Structure 1
Amino acid sequence: MLYWLMKHVFLGPLLKLFFRPSIEGEENVPATGGALLASNHLAVADSFFLPLMLKRRVTFPAKLEYFTQPGIKGRFKKWFFTGMGQIPIDRSGGAAAQAALDTGVRLLGEGHLLGIYPEGTRSPDGRLYKGKTGLARMVLESRVPVVPVAMFDTDKANPIGSKMWRPRKIRIKIGKPMDFSRYEGLSGDRFVERSITDEIMYALMELSGQEYVDMYAAKAKELLAAQDAGEPAALPTQQRHAADDADRIPETEAG
């Protein structure tokens, strides 16, 4: 009920009024059953406009911190993100990351439409970054189709660090479902998982027209932060490996 009210009564009409969102290819989203929506990630606004424009309910994994902050503000955030169809995901360690993947597989098995950002975090500069392989593991274990989604101009409506959104026409483009049944039974094979992830990222690159960067977005953010602080551009080897292996399951980021 809360999801319906947010979409059709409280938030949805305002978003449509000020941002005039349009969608192309909605017929590519399966009408029933579990499916993964793999989207590029330009802004926090992505997680608002995609559910708004689809007939089916979309569930997104989100940072656990959005649901656990104390006080009135914390309770409001929990109410709001729950109303937007987001579920808390704890990714603080290896066991938590596996639990997050298991949650995604369970939701898909229950027939949910699960929204995922393969890059793991927002693009720091509008380019498309290397995908996390947690997406591929969920695909292999749940055996559902992957539907590529390209968001356009959400980063202009909701720039990084902005507290107020700026009216701007938003576009969404949805590609044909991708079938990876040929890899059935190969979950846990890192080479297969990387191949599937790269295939999905290539589809996103073609759909969005973004320049592709063979680097994790989280790593790019660290490099940019280091440059801004006047530190050496390269990360220490140990830190680079940690950045590469972290965040196997993407999330919704509002920072």
Structure 2
Amino acid sequence: MLKRLSRIFLAPLARLLFRPRIIGRSNVPSTGPVILASNHLSFIDSVVITLVAPRSVSFLAKSSYFTGTGVRGWLSRAFFTGVGAIPVERGAGSAAQLALDSGLEVLNRGEAFSIYPEGTRSLDGRLYKGRTGVAWLALTSGALVVPVALTGTQNLQPVGSKLPRFARVTVEFGAPLDVSRHGSAESGRARRAATDEIMGAIQAMSGQPLAGVYNEPPPANVTERVRRFFRRERT
């Protein structure tokens, strides 16, 4: 119910703030499990996708957004719950698998789930090599994959900005992909081939240059230096 109310009240605000140009909404199946696999340019990407998609979408978010105290903590929990966020602990190994398992639960309920195969935001605008978790989800659940290309969200909420700005964004939903022909989820080769097909579809829509490598999250101290740089640039 909270997710439905949030879409009703926040979607008009999104149209004002994002001024979104939406392409291919009809490519998202209206029922059944579906994975929305997107490029990743900004913190706000998940909010943009869930508010412009033609159906309710769930996505993973840091658990810290749900554990705050006081009024600010309550507002954070209410907002992220309302836009379909699922709290997870970030990390590799078992933490990463637990995150994928959370996505699988959503798909097994016949719902829509969004994921960023790059793993983390691109700070230079290039499209990085996709990690195979998206293929594992698709091959395990049997869900179709709708590639999504975001353009302009890096201007809507640049690195270091706490609040979104007025900016024009484009969200393009591509034709659904059935990656089951690549084989079983247990096969590393099948997961790699399926992931590469998904990333190829995203790149064809976004036009981003390919990085050819994985995107590794910068160390915390580097991230803080980037934020300070952007704060200085705005003053």
- Please state which band the TM-score falls in when normalised by the shorter chain: 0.7 to 0.9
**Other-structure match for 1:131:** 130
Structure-1-length-normalised TM-score: 0.81
Distance 1:76 1:88 in 2: 15
Distance 1:95 1:56 in 2: 30
| 1:201 alignment partner AA | M
SS of structure 2 residue aligned to 1:18: helix
**Other-structure match for 2:115:** 116
**Other-structure match for 1:204:** 202
TM superposition shift of 1:93: 5.2
Distance 2:49 2:97 in 1: 26
How many correspondences in the alignment?
225
| 2:77 alignment partner AA | K
Distance 2:199 2:207 in 1: 12
The more displaced of 152-161 and 164-173 is: 164-173
**Other-structure match for 1:7:** 7
Alignment counterpart, residue 187 of structure 1, candidates 165, 177, 185: 185
| 1:4 alignment partner AA | R
Distance 1:86 1:6 in 2: 12
Distance 1:67 1:145 in 2: 30
**Other-structure match for 2:62:** 63
The more displaced of 171-180 and 210-219 is: 210-219
User: 2:159 aligned with 1:160, yes or no?
Assistant: yes
Structure-2 change in CA distance of 1:115 and 1:123 (3 Å): same
**Other-structure match for 1:84:** 83
Distance 1:139 1:212 in 2: 23
TM superposition shift of 1:139: 0.9
SS of structure 2 residue aligned to 1:56: coil
What is the RMSD computed on CA atoms of the aligned residues? 2.2
- On the 8 A contact 2:28/2:54 being kept in 1, the answer is no
Distance 1:100 1:142 in 2: 15
Unpaired runs of at least 5, structure 2: 227-235
Distance 1:55 1:152 in 2: 18
User: 2:146 aligned with 1:144, yes or no?
Assistant: no
Structure-2-length-normalised TM-score: 0.88
The more displaced of 144-153 and 72-81 is: 72-81
Identical aligned residues as a percent = 45
TM superposition shift of 1:191: 2.1
| 1:26 alignment partner AA | R
**Other-structure match for 1:97:** 96
User: 2:215 aligned with 1:217, yes or no?
Assistant: yes
Distance 2:196 2:50 in 1: 25
| 2:109 alignment partner AA | E
**Other-structure match for 1:242:** none
Distance 1:99 1:19 in 2: 32
SS of structure 1 residue aligned to 2:216: helix
Give every structure 1 segment of 4 or more consecutive aligned residues whose post-TM-superposition deviation is greater than 6 Å.
none
Q: For residues 150-181 of structure 1, what are the alpha-carbon distances to aligned partners after superposition, in whole Å with 9 as ceiling and x for unaligned?
A: 01101111111112322111111111111112
Distance 2:182 2:29 in 1: 21
Distance 1:5 1:60 in 2: 17
Unpaired runs of at least 5, structure 1: 230-255
